[in-house]
Amino acid sequence: MDLLNTLVDKGLRRELPTRDEALAVLATSDDEILDVVAAAGKVRRQWFGRRVKLNYLVNLKSGLCPEDCSYCSQRLGSKAEILKYTWLKPDQASQAAAAGLAGGAKRVCLVASGRGPTDRDVDRVSDTIKAIKDQNEGVEVCACLGLLSDGQAERLRQAGADAYNHNLNTSESTYGEITTTHTYADRVDTVQKAHAAGLSACSGLIAGMGESDADLVDVVYALRALDPDSVPVNFLIPFEGTPLAKEWNLTPQRCLRILAMVRFVCPDVEVRIAGGREVHLRTMQPLALHLANSIFLGDYLTSEGQAGKADLEMIADAGFEVEGTGEVTLPEHRATAGAGCGSHAEAGCGSHESGGCGPCGSPAEEPAAETTRASEARTDLVAVRRRGAGTDLAPNA
């Protein structure tokens, strides 16, 4: 297929596809899915070999969020019967993180519900980062605390944080349909604050919220322009008790096409399969490893994931290997560029050379959005987390 050959060539050169090419990936048929995976897999292996980075989530504060994000089980007004608890103490968080690290995780992601941290919250998280790093040499710590105020990213960096996560989630044009208590611009501002402070920026999306192909391409191109080092791709977990509980729009093949499109647009970036992979990819998860080079191990914030042991077996059976703590995740040209746009001057923002920061070429008429065969609602696969952080039960790692 000429399209896929073109995309492979561009991916190996770190050159941005056109919007039409990105849309065409999403419009491929189920009969072509193995060709799409094979093509994007060539780009993945060029920059990341057969390594899979493992990440582990610790939910520092669960539920009772004042924001109204429609996809979230912790949102204002959520009737989802999730765990609700206030801040874990540093030693509790460190103990929770230890389980994931023992299972092979290289990065710990510290997440707290809420609009954004107070200065006191930043102090709490700083103490937690220290507790984790004191016990685990070489561990990466990523914080995800919501919208940042001036100076907070710098304080987290000084405390030892390596990265900051704040997802764009969906396209700017449809963001107001998903969330009304903050704006898309607020999210962009926080990613830029993390970059400017020298933190490795982590920002991604959620697929399956009823968005169009054009929306997916828009948000991925916007992410490319922001130049994060890692892009988590979440697939909506339709929690009962949330406004999007009835949104079952994804098939395993659709998820693979989305991951392939992200890989082609962000060829040398850590693409992480995040929440919802077990619900929507199901038995096709191993194929997704040919597209993404990073996954979460075990459970998520409020939902149960695949058992950590099963994750490790899946990686080995698919012919991949867990990335070691001594290995550098990013390709050399990105790893040596450092965080923040200011350090990428020689190669262009994002070190994409001629690809530049964002979309190139003039906009063309977009093909019609794919009509997706709705996946059967697998509500049996949506299980609320009842173990790990915030409980007395052992975590699933």
Active-site amino acid positions: 65, 69, 72, 109, 142, 202, 272
DSSP annotation string for 322-385? EPPTTS--S-HHHHTT-SSGGGGTTT-TTS-GGG-SS--S---PPPPPP---PPP--GGG--B-
- Assigned token pair, 281: 């990819």
Inter-helix orientation angle 213-226/184-196, to 10° = 30
Count CA atoms closer than 13 A to 164's CA, side-chain side: 35
Alpha carbons 23 and 103: distance in angstroms, whole number: 38
Pure H helices in 266-331 = 277-280, 285-288, 308-317
Query: How far is CA 138 from each of CA 53, 108, 133, 154, 171, rounded to the nearest angstrom?
Result: 14, 11, 8, 21, 35
Spatial contact of 200 and 163, defined as CB atoms under 8 Å apart: yes
Residue type, 326: G
* DSSP 8-class letter at 199: P
Alpha carbons 231 and 272: distance in angstroms, whole number: 6
Residue at token pair 């561009």: 10
